Structure 1
Amino acid sequence: MATKVDEEAGIKEEKVPLLKAQEFPDIERNTLIHKVIGQTFKTTAHLANLLPTGTVLAYQVLSPIFTNGGRCDLASRFMTEMLVFICGFSCFILSFTDSYKDLNGNVCYGFATTNGFWIIDGKADLPRESSKSYRLRFIDFAHAIMSFLVFGAVVLFDQNVVNCFFPNPSAEVSELVTSLPVAVGVFCSLMFATFPTKRHGIGFPLSAKC
């Protein structure tokens, strides 16, 4: 028969937690890493709104097909390289586009040039003085580069592409692929917030001024 002392000792043992956090530091560290990665996904999703909608949509649709679900051979890797290059170049070049709403309410798109605004479809007749306000500026190049970097961050978050180019990554490569998009996201978020773009080109939302 168990004594009263043995029963009290058993109760105390039941109250002692089976797992102590200090005995498993990796659990807390992994949880923190998962939180950081999850927050980075949200940040990148918001940053993706600054990219041309059609370009991002085309990339998201074609990426799983071209990469064969991350199991690339020589042909699929070449097609994936071309997809990333074309979409990245599209994000860069479309940053120089803008829109103009004529007197009839029709929205016309064109490219900003050093002399003014070149309307692509040629239907609208933009006054010379108004055209000068659309001239190419240094900030346009900064936005184009940042858009390219943001698209690169989106690509690095695509596991299909990462598995295609780095099927057996080392610890250093895995850390770089995880950390680099975070750094790009933070940097571009600060830059876009400090120097917002006033252009509303192809694939970008229009504002009331257009």
Structure 2
Amino acid sequence: MEEIAGVAVKIYDSMNQDNPNNDGVPQRGRKRQAIAKKVQKTFARTSMLVNFLPTGTLLTFEMLLPTISNDGQCTHVSTIATHALLGLCAASCFLFHFTDSFRASDGKVYYGFVTPSGLSVFKSGVPVEVPKDERFRIGFVDLLHALMSVLVFVSIAFSDHRVVDCLLPKVSEKDMKVVMDGFPVMVGIICSGLFFVFPNTRYGVGCMAA
């Protein structure tokens, strides 16, 4: 408050309005920076696990999650939507590990599901002969890879503070930090060892062979 020619004049500082702490960074800017740092930490913790997921699954999850979860401030509807998104992405991780492909004599690549009797291509009436090799039959390794892929996705999803804040709001931040820091590392070590012992030999939808 200053007095000019006997008239009291109150001077407003726009910086102080947005930033009561007067540290040079507006409150909104600090909030965006905090969110960006959390997302960056999530990717840093889980970057080694992405190779175990079908291409595009994690990208789709990270693109839709901010809109659905409202940055962790979920309503009843957004909580259901977050569960649905987690379920769909986990299902894609599981199912895509039961797909494979082959290059036919016409130079085209055909995809299909592996079954006990062989490869069942997605497109019916293909003009080429579908191979009947043993490698196109479903086996224990396919189930193992599918389950590990789902486990990897779950560990990555619950390393995101938006999922935790939305689905587990009553869990203390300290306890969740311990889980978020340790669980992805543990899953990465276990799955890396299992993938090394049981390597992936399929070239399915979004699942490149190791």
> Which of the five TM-score ranges fits, normalised by the shorter chain?
0.7 to 0.9
- Higher share of residues assigned helix: 1
Counterpart pick for 1:157 among 159, 171, 184: 159
Q: CA deviation at 1:92?
A: 0.4
Give 1:176's aligned residue. 179
Describe the shift of the 1:118–1:187 C-alpha distance in structure 2 as closer, same or farther (beyond 3 A): same
Superposition deviation, residue 125 in structure 1: 3.1
1:117 partner SS: strand
- Worse-superposed segment, 196-205 or 141-150: 196-205
CA distance, structure 2, for counterparts of residue 96 and residue 121 of structure 1: 16
Tell me the CA shift for residue 41 of structure 1. 4.9
Q: Is the 8 A contact 1:51 1:91 kept in 2?
A: yes
TM-score w.r.t. structure 2 length?
Answer: 0.73
- The residue number in structure 2 matching 1:93 is 95
The answer on whether the counterparts of 1:111 and 1:118 sit within 8 Å (CA) in structure 2 is yes
Q: Secondary structure at the match of 1:71?
A: coil
Deviations 1:105-137 (A, max 9, x none): 11111000001110111325334543x331001
Corresponding residue for residue 33 of structure 1? none
Q: Which of the pair has more CA radius of gyration?
A: 1
Q: Where does the alignment leave 5 or more consecutive residues of structure 2 unmatched?
A: 1-39
- Tell me the alpha carbon deviations over residues 24-55 of structure 1, each in whole angstroms, 9 at most, x when there is no partner: xxxxxxxxxxxxx96x9546213212211122
> TM-score, structure 1 length as denominator?
0.73
Mapped to 2, the partners of 1:144 and 1:124 lie a distance apart of: 30
Q: Of 182, 197, 200, which aligns to 2:200? A: 197
Shift of 1:58: 1.2
Three-state SS of the structure 1 residue aligned to 2:171 is coil
What SS is found at the alignment partner of 2:112?
Answer: strand
CA distance in 1, matches of 2:159, 2:180: 8
User: Contact conserved, 2:96 with 2:207, CA < 8 A, in 1?
Assistant: no
1:110 is paired with a residue whose SS is: strand
- 1:186 matched to 2:189? The reply is yes
Change (3 A) 1:127 1:80: closer
Letter of the aligned partner of 1:175 in structure 2? Answer: V
- After superposition, give the CA deviation of every residue in 1:6-30 in whole Å (9 maximum; x if it has no partner): xxxxxxxxxxxxxxxxxxxxxxxxx
Identity %: 37
SS in 2 for 1:112: strand
- Long gaps (5+) in structure 1: 1-36
Whole-Å separation in 2 of the counterparts to 1:146 and 1:158: 19
Offset at residue 191 of structure 1 (A): 1.0
Instruction: Specify whether residues 82 and 172 from structure 1 end up closer, same or farther in structure 2 by C-alpha distance, changes over 3 A only.
Output: same
